[in-house]
Structure 1
Amino acid sequence: MRGYLKVATVASALLGAALAAPIIKVHPGDGSDIIITSQDTVNATQPAPANATATNSTFKLAENVASSNGQLPLFLVNNFAGAINAYVTGLDSNNQLVMLQPDGSWLYPTCDPTVSTPQAVTANVAIPLGGQGSTTQVTLPGYISAARVWFAAGNLEFFTVYSTATNGPSLVEPSAVNPSDPSAAVSWGFVELTNTEAGGLYANISYVDFVGLVLGMSLLSGDGSTQSAKGLQPNAVSTICSLLEAQTAKDGMPWTDLCQVDASGTPLRVIAPSDYVASNPDAFSAYFPDHVSEVWTHYSTNTLTIDTQAAAGKVACTVQGDLLTCAGDNRGYARPIAGDIFGCNSGPFAIEADDNDVHRAVVPRLCAAFDRATLLMTGGDSQPGLASTSYYQSAPTNWYSAFVHQNEVDGKGYAFSYDDVNPDGDVNQSGVVADADPQVLTVIVGGPLAG
C-alpha cells in the first residue's frame, strides 16, 4: 500500500519559488532534496527475508507464455528513438518490498532503521531494453501488488527509508512534481499494476498526476481476447506544453508552469494542475470564483439533477443560503476553489467516513462538471448528462485534462480523479486492462507502433 511519510523534505518555500517561474527548468539534487508523499512511496508491511533474494525465473523468450503462480510474462516493446531502462517495483504476496533484478529474481530492498534520511538503493535494478523496434521479454517471479513498471530514457534513482508505522522499509520512488528530485532530469513514466491470485491482473495508465514518457499497453487474456490502452501520441509532452503556453497567453493563468524542461529546454513532463496548486495555493486563485458565483446564482432558482447512477437514482440539488444541497444528502456543498476543482478531494469535495451513499455519488459528478465546464451549458442541469464531446468547450475549465485527451490515441487514460464520470453508454476513458486469467502484459514505450 502506498502511504505518507514526512522525511527529509525540501523547504516548501524553496519549492514554491522554484515552481513560480514560467516553464520549470529541473535541477536534480540528491537524497536531501527528496519530497516524500503517498504518491511516491511503497510501504512494506513485512521485513525483507533473511536471504534478501528470491530466484524464481529469468529473462526468457517464453515458448509457453501462460502465467502460473503469479509468474506473469511482460513483453516490453521499445518504440523510442533511444536507450530505455525498465524497472519493476512493488510488494510480493507476503507484502514484502521487492524490485526486479536483471537476472529475473526479486531484490528485497532493506534500510537501516537508525538512519532517518533516505538511503540509496545501490543494487542493479535497471533492465535495459533492446534498440528501437525490439521486444524484451521478462517474467515476474510471483504475484505483486502496489506495483509499477517504470521506463526511463536514462537511469532512475530509488531510495529506502524505515517506516515506524509498518516496521519495515518504504521505497521512495522518483517524484514527477519535485524539480529537485534526483531523477528530475530524466524522462520517465510508468504503468501501475496489481496481479494477485484472488483478483487477477489490474493494470492502469493514468495522467491524473503527470504526463511523461509515452506508454501504451495491451493484455492477452486466457480466453484469447485482448484489451488495450494505447496511450498518448509520441510527441505528446511537447505538444501539450505548446498548447498550455498558448492558453497562458490567452487567459494569463499559469498553465505554462505545469511544464518541466531539462537544461537545454527540452520538455520532460507536464504535471497536473492539482499537484501544482498543492505547492502553489494561490496559482489559480482568480480562475474559478466568477464562474462558481454564476453557478450558485443559476441554481438558486433552477434545479440541478445529479444522476447517481446507483440505487439513489436521480437527486435534485439547489442552492440554499450559500450551500448547494441535494435531496437525501447528509450535508451540503460550499463554493469550491481551484485546488478543490482540480484535485476533487478537498473542500466541498472531500469525502468523510460518515458520508452517506448519496454524498459519495454526488461528489465525483459535481467535481467532474466543474472540471469540464458543463454546469451552465444547455442541458448542463443534468449531471452527468451531456456527451463527452461537450466537455472543455468553454472557460474556466481544466485545460490540462482537455489537452491530454486531445493527444490520446484511443481516448483512454484519466486526466483527473473522476474522469470516469460519464453518462451511461458514453465513452470509457479508463486506461485500464484487467483479467482474472492474464497471459501476457505488453507495454510499449515511445508511442504506438505503426499499423
Structure 2
Amino acid sequence: MLRTLKRRVMAAGLSIATVLGGSLLATGVPSPAHAAVPDTIPLTITNNSGRGEQVYVYNLGTQLSTGRQGWADASGTFHPWPAGGNPPTPAPDASIPGPAAGRSTTIRVPKFSGRIYFSYGQKMVFRLTTGGLVQPAVQNPTDPNRNILFNWSEYTLNNDGLWLNSTQVDMFSAPYSVGVRRADGSTVSTGRLKPGGYNGVFNALRGQSGGWADLIQTRPDGTVLRALSPLYGVETGALPASILDDYVNRVWQKYSGTTLTVTPFGDRPDVKYYGRVSGDVMNFTNSSGAVVTSFQKPDASSVFGCHRRLDAPNDQVRGPISRTLCAGFHRTTLLANPDQPDSGAAGFYQEPATNHYSRIVHAHMADGKAYGFAFDDVGNHESLVHDGNPRQASLTLDPFD
C-alpha cells in the first residue's frame, strides 16, 4: 500500500485545487493584487499538547515555481529529493526540531503545495521511490510509521495567498489547529477540538456499532495513536465492504424515477446538471438535455475515497458534479434532498449507515468544521483558513484531552 506524492500532493488537494480554480501545481501569472505575497512567510508552531516528548517537524511538498518535489528547512530553503529506488531508499533527514511543551518555534514556509508533518517522541521514516516520496500509509501494518504518533497539516502558498487546513481525510490523530494572520492584524483559525473532544472522538467510535471501533489503532502497549478513515476501514476489513450497499441501492432506486439536481458552483447558481438513473448508471445532462457525464453505481470504497466510480478530475463538469455527489453520499442526504448540495448541516449523517467517522469528528470540533472526507468543502464545511495576503501562519499542537 505504498503511496507516492503522485497519488495527489495533498490528501484533500483536489478540494483546494477547486478553490484555487486550477491545478495546485500551476502558479500562473501573479495578479497585481497578490503579487506582493513573499517567497516565504513565517509559520509559528506552538506546543500546547502538554506532552513531554521531543517534537519533530517536516515541511514536504512540491516547489510551485519548478514542479520539483522536495523539502524545506527551517529557513524555508528548498532541497529537492535525490533520486529514489526500487525498493524504496531512505530519504534525507528533513526533520526540524519542534518546540518543547509550552514553547513556540517559528520556521519559514516557501511557495509550496505540500504537508507540514509533526511527530512526538520519534522521527518519522520517509523513503523515496523512482516515482517520488512515499507517504506514510499506516493502514498497512508493516508501514515503518505505524507505531509513531504523528499527524500533518496541508497547505498551498502561492502568488494568490495561503490555503492551510486541518485534515482528517486519512485519519484522526494528534490534535492541532491552524491559523493565519492577515495584513490588518486580524487572525482566523480552525481545527480546534471542543474541551474533551480528542477522547470524545475515540469514545464515540467505540460506542458506534458496525465495526467503527475497529478503525482505532493502538501501540502494542495500548497507547491510542489514531483512528483510520472509513476508506481505510473498508480496505483493511475493519468495515464491511457492503456497509453502504443498502443506502446506495435506495438512492439508485429513487433517481430512476426522480431527477437529482446538482448546482456545483456556489457563485454560479445558473449552472445546473440533472441526474437520472438508468440501470446501474446515473447520467447527468445539462440544461440543453445533452449527457455530460455518467456514473456507475458506486461501492463503499468509491464513496469513502471519492474515487474510482466517483472519480473527480480537476475539470469544470465531471469533477464538480462528482464532488457534490460524493458529499451527498458521505452525508447521506441524497434521499432527503434532490437538490444538491445541501445549504445547511442539520440533515447530515441521519441515516443508520452513514459516514459515522466524519459525523463524530465534526461533532467534536469547536467550530463544527472538519475535513472528514476529501470533499468536505462542498458547502463550506471544511477546516480551512485562507488569506490572499498572509503575514503569518500558525500551527498549534493542542491538548490530548
C-alpha distance in 1, partners of 2:126/2:400?
32
**What's the CA shift for 1:95?**
4.4
Look up the equivalent residue of 1:81 and give its one-letter code: G
CA distance in structure 1 between the aligned counterparts of 2:9 and 2:255, rounded to whole angstroms: 43
Equivalent residues of 1:121, 1:157 under 8 A apart: no
Identify which range, 367-376 or 308-317, moves more after superposition. Answer: 308-317
User: How many percent identity over aligned positions?
Assistant: 27
Question: Any residues of structure 2 matched to 1:178-217 within 5 Å, and which?
Answer: 178-196=140-158, 198-217=159-178
Shift of residue 222 of structure 1?
A: 1.8
What are the Cα deviations for residues 18-63 of structure 1, in whole angstroms up to 9, with x where unaligned?
Answer: xxxxxxxxxxxxxxxxx334478879xxxxxxxxxxxxxxxxxxxx
Stretches of structure 2 that go unaligned for 5 or more consecutive residues are: 11-35
Alignment-mate amino acid for residue 337 of structure 1 = D
Show the counterpart of 1:298: 254
Determine the structure 2 residue equivalent to 1:247: 208
Letter in 2 for 1:155: Q
Cα distance in structure 2, aligned partners of 1:130 and 1:448: 15
**How far 1:98 sits from its partner (Å)?**
4.1
Q: Paired residue for 1:339?
A: 301
- Counterpart residue identity of residue 206, structure 1: T
Q: Out of 113, 118, 138, which is 2:88 matched to?
A: 118
Counterparts of 2:366 and 2:95, CA distance in 1? 31
Give the distance between the partners of 1:124 and 1:316, measured in 2 at CA.
49
Q: Is the 8 A contact 2:332 2:348 kept in 1?
A: yes
The one-letter code matched in structure 2 to 1:260 is Q
Q: Distance in 1 between matches of 2:105 and 2:313?
A: 45
- C-alpha displacement of 1:76: 1.0
What is the CA distance between 1:109 and its match in structure 2? 6.0
**What's the counterpart of residue 325 of structure 2?**
366
Does the CA-based 8 Å contact 2:58-2:117 persist in structure 1? yes
* Structure 2 equivalent of residue 437 of structure 1: 389
CA distance in 1, matches of 2:45, 2:313: 41
**What is the DSSP-based 3-state SS (H/G/I as helix, E as strand, rest coil) of the residue aligned with 1:389?**
coil
Q: 2:142 corresponds to which letter in structure 1? A: S
> Is the counterpart of residue 99 in structure 1 residue 56 in structure 2?
no
Mapping 1:137-148, distance limit 5 Å: 137-140=106-109, 143-148=110-115
Q: Deviations over 1:88-128 (max 9, x none)?
A: 223444445443446x4647365466x53333345472313
Shift of 1:175: 2.9
User: Residue 77 of structure 1 contacts residue 135 of structure 1 at CA under 8 Å; is this kept in 2?
Assistant: yes
SS class of match (1:342): helix
1:45-444 equivalences in 2 (<5 Å): 69-82=38-51, 83=53, 84-92=55-63, 93-101=65-73, 104=75, 106=77, 108=79, 110-111=81-82, 115-121=85-91, 123=93, 125-131=95-101, 133-140=102-109, 143-163=110-130, 170-196=132-158, 198-233=159-194, 236-248=197-209, 253-280=210-237, 283-309=239-265, 310=268, 313-328=271-286, 329-347=291-309, 349-351=310-312, 357=317, 359-377=318-336, 380-385=337-342, 387-422=344-379, 428-444=380-396
Read off the aligned partner of 1:78 and give its amino acid letter: N
TM-score normalised by L of structure 2: 0.80
**1:288-329 CA distances to partner (integer Å, 9 max, x unpaired)?**
222223223333333333333436534443333443333323
User: Would you say how many aligned residue pairs link Structure 1 and Structure 2?
Assistant: 367
Change (3 A) 1:315 1:71: closer
Return the TM-score normalized by structure 1: 0.72
Offset at 1:188? Answer: 1.1
Say if 1:236 and 1:263 are closer, same or farther in 2 by CA, change over 3 A. farther
CA–CA distance in structure 1, aligned partners of residues 313 and 231 of structure 2: 20
CA distance in structure 1 between the partners assigned to 2:370 and 2:156 by the alignment: 17
1:68: how far off? 7.4
8 Å CA contact 1:259, 1:270 repeated in 2 = yes
- Does structure 2 retain, via aligned residues, the 8 Å contact 1:109–1:160? no
Residues 139 and 386 (structure 1 numbering): CA distance in 2 closer, same or farther, change over 3 Å? closer
Superposed displacement of residue 256, structure 1? 2.0
Deviations 1:180-239 (A, max 9, x none): 22222121111112223x233221222111111111011112232322113334654543
3-state DSSP of counterpart to 1:366? helix
